[in-house]
Chains A and B, each alone.
Chain A
């Protein structure tokens, strides 16, 4: 076996093994460096996996050489490769970006533990997307959640602690719900391998237990994914986490739960339960629509910029939920592309906010007056990101909205209503994005405020702009993202490639 064959395992294993090393070697500056080296390696591996799967190929890797369904397999197709790329990419970008801000927020003393947790978090999220075993997903989910709790609690404000506590409770309930669902599935089928499950669930005669399982799994994952109204843990967790952590989890973590929801639902339940597409629609469409309105309205009235963006994420998750619920190729493509694109947009915006926080020492919108002049590059990045949230052309948000609207148009009168809702919420996004932009560019600084004259340091600006430009690039050349997403959508729906 060559190293090349081991790539699927490497993407996780590198991270898992570096974590203890990072914790144990307590040299100055080393924890950050080893963490960064590991996630970047993992990112490169993920990209090479994506290159393999873009042709529609699926990689099955048997852990320890045990064949399925007895052993645990890694199952990597276009969708998981795309997600792995998003996670490791966001993790690398946030780490490189956060070199300075993390040194500021996380002390030298706690740095080894912090960066080890960072690696475990990345490993858990990547594990969730590449594993082909339902129980294994739970294990990875808990690895990532536990380490995310640690990361968030490292926030400088004491409110970080109480936010962490709330997240622990909600997160554990969500994961436990998922576990219950998987338990029921195991009871009726006797297997945990997702491919095997998909087959055997179809042969089950008494469908009631499968339905209960579907319910538990969906609600549990919806909590983890912060689907409205189960989002209450999310805004404060984003707000009080260290800035670089916010960049990472906002870009990647909720998306992974949505990914699992999509994967489990389409691979296992869609084939086995009659009319399940309608059930899914009735479950997700109302939640998605509520999320769009509630998230946007909350964002409009929010004064703290980080929480504003968190509420906007609630709304954006609504888009993804809508895309998933439409059970069509275009809808799923839109949802998957939006997961990726929104990760880039929000990651870039939270980076810009972190730059602002570094100089202004506050992220209250009202205090940022004059930022357009004092920090032109930072604010320009924020504006580009904001336009992406609105879905203006030439930004990645436009591509995803294009597919979502295209999908909705195929759904008849209900679809026309959805189109209207998607567009109205885009307009609400104009309001909350513009609120911040207007203060920064046209507001007069308060007389008692300490004037900020310095732009953010280059070590932060450059990664921010790399993310922003990557966003514009994938809006112009959609062959990779849309390519992978449409293959993924077709695979999930079982349509010929």
Chain B
């Protein structure tokens, strides 16, 4: 049961591997960027999972409520930062992809490699 209770960690590992596989196996730039996003998403899940406490609520101090169990807010804040970083990375990568398409007329890495070799 304890093992099953850690299911979100298993999902983290599975997502991480799916993402990594996509990055390595796909020659299409957009597809491998999707892999990269999944890869980063897995890490968000890892961080979020760590703050969950059974019966915990939002960390807001209320009058008259004593001994309240809070979820840890710090990982949430951290992962908010990481999500922002992830979005910026994706945006930048997509911008570069647009320019690659303009310059080469394709977004298939193997074709681009062939075109560069001819130079």
Residues of A within 8 A of B (CB): 135, 138-139, 142, 146, 149-150, 153, 158-159, 161-162, 164-165, 168-169, 172-173, 176, 179-180, 183, 186-187, 192
| Contact (A165, B97) CB under 8 Å given A158-B103, A172-B40 | yes
Most chain B CB atoms below 10 A, which of A135, A139, A150, A162: A162
Separation of A164 and B39 alpha carbons in the complex (Å): 19
Flag if B93 contacts A153 (CB, 8 Å): no
Given contacts A139-B85, A165-B29, A168-B96, 9 further A-B contacts (CB under 8 A): A158-B104, A161-B96, A161-B99, A162-B104, A162-B116, A169-B93, A183-B47, A183-B75, A186-B78
Contacting residues, chain B, for A179 (C-beta < 8 A)? 43, 82
Q: Report Cα–Cα, A314/B39, bound state, in Å.
A: 27
**Quick one: which of A135, A165, A168 has the most chain B CB within 10 A?**
A165
Min C-beta distance of A307 to chain B, whole Å:
13
- What are 20 A-B interface contacts by the 8 Å CB criterion? A135-B81, A146-B92, A149-B92, A153-B96, A161-B99, A161-B103, A162-B104, A164-B96, A165-B96, A169-B36, A172-B89, A173-B36, A176-B39, A180-B16, A180-B46, A183-B43, A183-B46, A186-B50, A186-B74, A186-B78
Establish whether residues B93 and A168, one from each chain, have CB atoms under 8 Å apart when the complex forms: yes
Given contact pairs A139-B85, A169-B36, A176-B40, A161 touches B100 in the complex (Cβ within 8 A):
yes
| B68 at the A interface (CB under 8 A) | no
Chain B nearest CB from A175 CB (Å) reads 8
**Known contacts A169-B23, A176-B40, A183-B46; is-contact A139 B100 (Cβ 8 Å):** no
Residues of A with C-beta under 8 A to B103: 158, 161
Contact A135 B92 (CB under 8 A): no
Q: Which 6 residue pairs of A and B lie closest in terms of their CB atoms, listed nearest first?
A: A158-B103, A142-B85, A161-B100, A168-B93, A187-B50, A165-B96
CA distance A187 to B75 in the complex (A): 10
By a beta-carbon cutoff of 8 Å, the part of chain B in contact with chain A is: 16, 20, 23, 29, 32, 36, 39-40, 43, 46-47, 50, 74-75, 78, 81-82, 85, 88-89, 92-93, 96-97, 99-100, 103-104, 109, 112, 116
Distance in angstroms between the alpha carbons of A142 and B81 in the assembled complex: 11
B81 touches A139 (CB 8 A): yes
| Given known A161-B99, A161-B103, contact A173–B23 (CB-CB < 8 A) | yes
Q: Does B46 lie within 8 Å of A162, measured CB to CB?
A: no
Q: Which residues of A contact B29 (CB under 8 A)?
A: 165
Is B96 a contact partner of A149 (Cβ separation < 8 A)? Answer: yes
- A138 CB contacts on chain B under 8 angstroms: 82, 85
- What B residues does A142 contact at CB under 8 A? 85, 88-89
Say whether, besides A135-B78, A159-B116, A168 and B39 are in contact (CB < 8 Å). Answer: no
Cα distance A75–B45 when bound, in Å? Answer: 30
Which residue of the partner chain, among A161, A165, A173, contacts B39 with CB atoms under 8 Å?
A173
| Residues of B close to A135: CB separation below 8 A | 78, 81
Please pick, from A153, A168, A187, the residue contacting B89 in the complex, using a CB distance under 8 A: A168
Q: Name B116's closest neighbour in chain A (CB-CB).
A: A159
Q: Is the CB of A168 within 8 A of B23?
A: no
**Residue in B closest to A175 when the chains form the complex, CB atoms:** B85
B104 touches A180 (CB 8 A): no
* Distance from B84 Cβ to chain A, minimum over Cβ atoms (Å): 9
Known contacts: A153-B96, A165-B100. The answer to whether A172 contacts B36 by CB under 8 A is yes
With A149-B96, A168-B93, A169-B23 in contact, do A162 and B112 touch (Cβ < 8 Å)? Answer: yes
Minimal beta-carbon separation of A223 from chain B (angstroms): 12
B43 CB, min distance to chain A CBs, angstroms: 6
Residues of B within 8 A of A186 (CB): 50, 74-75, 78
Contact partners of B88 in chain A: CB under 8 A:
142, 146
The residue in chain B whose Cβ has the minimal distance to the Cβ of A182 is B78
Give Cα A165 to B89, complex, Å: 11
The chain A residue sitting closest to B99, CB to CB, is: A161
Docked Cα-Cα span, A162 to B93, in Å, equals 11
Bound state CA distance, A158 and B97, in angstroms? 12
Q: Which residues of A contact B20 (CB under 8 A)?
A: 173
- Of A135, A138, A139, A172, which is in contact with the most chain B CB atoms at under 10 Å from its CB? A172
Residues from chain A with a CB closer than 8 A to the CB of B112 are 162
- Contact residues in B for A168 (Cβ distance below 8 Å): 89, 92-93, 96
Q: Is the CB of A176 within 8 A of B43?
A: yes
Closest Cβ of chain B to A338, distance in Å, is 31
Residues of B within 8 A of A159 (CB): 116
CB-CB < 8 A to A172: which residues of B?
36, 39-40, 89
Min CB gap B88→A, angstroms: 6
In the complex, the chain A residue whose C-beta lies closest to that of B78 is A135
CB distance from A161 to the nearest CB of B (A): 5
A153 lies within 8 A of B99 (CB):
yes
A50 vs chain B, min Cβ distance (A):
30
Interchain nearest-CB distance for B47 vs A (Å):
5
**A180 neighbours in B (Cβ, 8 Å):** 16, 43, 46
Question: If A142-B85, A180-B46 touch, does A150 touch B36 (CB 8 Å cutoff)?
Answer: no
Q: Counting chain A CB atoms within 10 Å of each CB, which of B39, B75, B82 scores highest?
A: B82
Contacts of B104 in A (CB 8 A): 158, 162
Residue of B nearest to A177 (CB): B43
**What is the bound-complex CA distance between A186 and B48, given in angstroms?**
12
Report A-chain residues with C-beta under 8 Å of the C-beta of B82. 138, 179
B90 to chain A, nearest CB (A): 9
Contact of A150 among B47, B78, B92 (CB under 8 A): B92
- Identity of the chain B residue whose Cβ is nearest the Cβ of A142 in the assembled complex: B85
* Cα distance A179–B40 in the bound complex, in angstroms: 10
Bound CA span A180–B32, Å: 20
